[in-house]
Amino acid sequence: MEEESKNVSENSAEGTAKDTDWRALYEQEHSAFAAYRREADDRAEQAEKRRLYEGLLRRAGIEERRIGTVLRAADLDGVRLRAGKLDDEAGLLRQIRREWGDFIPGWERAETPPAGGPAVTRESILRTRDTAERQQLIARNHELFGF
């Protein structure tokens, strides 16, 4: 009788060990699969952001040959998706034109003077010591010089 109870307790101990091994393996595989799914979802989201941002670059007027360059340099981590669309498209469009305006044919950046700052005069332009800066100021304010 003692021997039978010893066998039963050994079998239940073996069963518990096998059950624990199985549970640990299951948990490990389950967490690995969950990590894989998160990674796949992140890749899909990044691809969707990239596709939508590329369309936005085209709408902004970026030259077709420059779009790949801009996409490689753009930081899409700050771009958010909402219901399959880019969140705040108007703001992103302004940002694209501000940052990548050099790649838009015929686009000139509007440089706003500081609010309440002194107006540019002919004399202030002529007092500018840097030749390149002076030429830019003359070109921007050519009406002060009669041409």
Whether residues 15 and 79 share a domain: the answer is yes
- Which of these, 106, 104, 108, lies nearest to 56 by C-alpha position? 104
What is the arithmetic mean of pLDDT over 118-130? Answer: 81
- Tell which wins on pLDDT, 25 or 14: 25
Mean pLDDT, residues 122-140 taken together: 86
Cβ neighbours of 8 (radius 10 Å): 10
Q: Please, are residues 97 and 60 in contact by the beta-carbon 8 Å criterion?
A: yes
- Domains in the chain, number: 2
Residue listed under structure tokens 């691809």 = 47
Same structural domain for residues 90 and 34?
A: yes
Residues facing 86 on adjacent strands: 81
Same domain for 89 and 129 = no
